[in-house]
Amino acid sequence: MMDDFLFRAILGGVLLAVVCGPFGAFIVWRRMAFFGDMLAHTALLGVALGLLIGVDIRIGMIATCLVAALLLSYGQRQARIGSDTVLGMLAHSTLALGMVALAFVQGVAVDLMAYLFGDILAINTGDILLLAVGGAFAFCVLAWMWRPLLALTVSPEIAAAEGIPVERLRLVFMLLMALVIGMAIKIVGVLLITALLIVPAASARFFARTPEQMAIGAGLFGAASVLAGIALSWHVDTPAGPSIVISAAAIFILSAGFAPVMRKLTSGA
């Protein structure tokens, strides 16, 4: 019989991977990997603030990610500082601020490693509930704005000409991403969350002919990475978060090797 914590880990991890699939695809297409990284860094500040104010740290993480996303969408409009610089400044200042704030948290021994690399085996029913509700919300909103967001990704000019509210969509997407990242940190941690978003999407690219195929493929590869990572962690006693990312990377390498063979087979047929 399967242990309860293992069941929760698998359920939570697979839920997250499925939600991360389509988001990861958009992050790859829109070249926002660094943006995802920056959001994750700010989450550590959310942990500290949560502990200091006495709010649930999950709420703290999601809230700081949302605020960071808003700040960034404002910062990117400032032409005099490049958007990569704005990102870097925000990411590292908030990370530093988070570390400093954590030093003020008294009485609680904060397990920093759990936030940096995730602690999927420790997720509880509350985490699962949050993932299910928040994940379903993010998934539905993304599905609802899929077509216009894709048009915007292909060409902002075409999207604008055809009456798509470009700026509003960009902002909503950023906020959704902040929500997903805020939820995901418990599982793979601040430093690894971007990998769970972009690596499965990159693997799926090899086999996809349409955006939708890539998004679905990313979800499947992500779920497979979670399962393989947990299995690895279970049998060899490795840290779970990093094991998940290693599995995702292995799937990417296999995909890269397998794709040319498959192409030859299909073109030969």
Partner 1 sequence: MTAPLIEGRDLVLSFGNERVLDQVSLAIHPGEIITLIGPNGAGKSTLVKTLLGLQKPDSGEVVRKQGLTIGYVPQKLAIDQVLPMTVKRFLTLTRSVSRAECEGVLAQVGAGHVIDAQMSQLSGGETQRVMLARTLLLRPHLLVLDEPTQGVDVSGQAELYRLIDEIRHELDCAVLMISHDLHLVMAKTNQVVCFNRHVCCHGQPETVRQHPEYRSLFGVREADAIGIYTHEHDHEHDLSRHVVAGCGHDHSHDHHHHAHDHVTTVKEGAETNQ
Task: List contacts with partner 1 (CB under 8 A).
Answer: 28-29, 31, 79, 147-148, 150-151, 153-164, 166, 205, 208-211, 213-214
Task: Yes or no: say if 5 and 127 are a contact pair by the CB < 8 Å rule.
Answer: no
Task: Report H helices in the chain.
Answer: 4-29, 33-53, 57-75, 83-104, 112-117, 125-144, 146-154, 156-161, 166-188, 193-205, 211-236, 240-268
Least distance to partner 1, CB of residue 28, Å? 6
Least distance to partner 1, CB of residue 216, Å? 12
Least distance to partner 1, CB of residue 15, Å? 26
**How many beta carbons lie within 10 A of that of residue 157, not counting itself?**
10
| Residue 115 vs 206, nearer CB to partner 1 | 206
| Residue that is written with structure tokens 């609680």 in the block | 108
Fill in the DSSP letter of residue 31. T
Least distance to partner 1, CB of residue 48, Å? 36
| Residue 158 vs 254, nearer CB to partner 1 | 158
DSSP, collapsed to helix, strand or coil, labels residue 56 as coil
| Residue 40 vs 215, nearer CB to partner 1 | 215
| Residue 105 vs 164, nearer CB to partner 1 | 164
